[in-house]
Structure 1
Amino acid sequence: MLDDTDRRLMRHLLADPGLATAALAERAGITTATCWRRLERLTAAGVIRGQHAVIDWRALGYAVEVSLRFTLDKTDPRAFDEFIAAARLVPEVIAIETFLGRVDVRLNVIARDMGHWTEVYRQQILALPHIAEVEALMLVSTIKNTEGLPL
């Protein structure tokens, strides 16, 4: 489905999503019209789902990130849905992921500082429904964080 030109185009798009179509075409070594058609085709096929801004939350004054792993009390069949619905309402939750295995749900939570983290954890996180067990992992450093793909 993808040829070398598509891969080259997507590599450049991932590296700089804000490029205008003409600049993207130039970097990929194709005409602007061809670039536009290929982007349209890749979008229609669902390969490209959109372009978005990546905002560094640290630049906005958030200094703490914690990954919380939850095991839910699954005696209630609505446990997952109710937990996730409530977690979505916590503004400091930046990611929600579900798993198979011992861990049911992982939340990534950011805070301005440790005082803010304590407040969010005690008042909002611990108030989430159906928690059987929670484990917190404090982020120390990010070694690799890329949205790039091996194209």
Structure 2
Amino acid sequence: MKLDARDRLILKFLQADCRMSNADLAERVGLSPSACWRKTRSLEESGVIESYRARVSPQAVGLGFQALVHVQLTRHNPEHLNEFITAMEVRPEVLDCYATTGQADYHLRVLCKDIAAYNDFLEGFLFRLSAVESAQTNVVLKEIKRNPSVPV
């Protein structure tokens, strides 16, 4: 889908506040409410807008420990890769998982209640996966920037 300037404005405003009414959105992007609704619907149907979500404060829900985990695999055969990927997809502590180049095969962003919960995650889950050779942890001391928006 080719995005025009108004599509990009719609995306910008919805990323900032997805609960904005269609009437307010239409006014901000300079369209009638019906034209704005059609454009927004088209962005949803084409997959440009993947979903709508609430941004929750981790600390407010008791999740004060965050780490970046760099995982090295023992084997890269399809069976082990599928086991690892499936395991990452279902674990709620794993917020993000990226296959990357470089020393580590995967990078995870993990959110837990505390260091004890993180240790349980490592010992009771991650290190029990047959594909995992090692993991290096970088504890997040302070969040400088957390931006879920895509620059449009």
TM-score range, shorter chain: 0.7 to 0.9
Structure 1 CA distance, aligned partners of 2:123 and 2:50? 37
Report the equivalent of 2:104.
103
Q: Deviations over 1:23-56 (max 9, x none)?
A: 2112222210110011122223322222222222
Q: Report how far residue 61 of structure 1 moved.
A: 0.4
Q: Deviations over 1:61-97 (max 9, x none)?
A: 0110111111101164422111222333433222222
Report the equivalent of 1:41.
42
Give the % identical residues. Answer: 27
Structure 2 CA distance, aligned partners of 1:90 and 1:44? 29
Number of residue pairs matched by the alignment: 151
Report the equivalent of 1:113.
114
Contact 1:43-1:49 within 8 A present in 2 as well: yes
| Structure 1 length-normalised TM | 0.87
Structure 1 CA distance, aligned partners of 2:84 and 2:150? 32
RMSD: 1.9
Structure 1 residues 8 and 88: alpha-carbon distance in aligned structure 2, compared to 1, 3 A threshold: closer
| Structure 2 length-normalised TM | 0.87
Structure 1 residues 147 and 88: alpha-carbon distance in aligned structure 2, compared to 1, 3 A threshold: closer
Q: Deviations over 1:82-116 (max 9, x none)?
A: 12223334332222221233321122221112222
**2:105 partner letter:** D
Structure 1 CA distance, aligned partners of 2:100 and 2:61? 30
SS at match of 1:37: helix
Q: Which runs of 5+ in 2 are unaligned?
A: none
Report the equivalent of 2:57.
56
Structure 2 CA distance, aligned partners of 1:87 and 1:8? 34
Report the equivalent of 2:135.
134
Structure 2 CA distance, aligned partners of 1:86 and 1:41? 34
Structure 2 CA distance, aligned partners of 1:121 and 1:107? 12
Structure 1 CA distance, aligned partners of 2:4 and 2:78? 46
Report the equivalent of 2:144.
143
Structure 1 residues 12 and 76: alpha-carbon distance in aligned structure 2, compared to 1, 3 A threshold: closer
Is 1:21 the counterpart of 2:5? The answer is no
SS at match of 1:102: coil
Structure 1 CA distance, aligned partners of 2:80 and 2:95? 20
Q: Give the ranges of 4+ consecutive aligned residues of structure 1 lying more than 6 Å apart after TM superposition.
A: none
SS at match of 2:50: coil
Structure 1 residues 52 and 79: alpha-carbon distance in aligned structure 2, compared to 1, 3 A threshold: same
Structure 1 residues 9 and 54: alpha-carbon distance in aligned structure 2, compared to 1, 3 A threshold: same
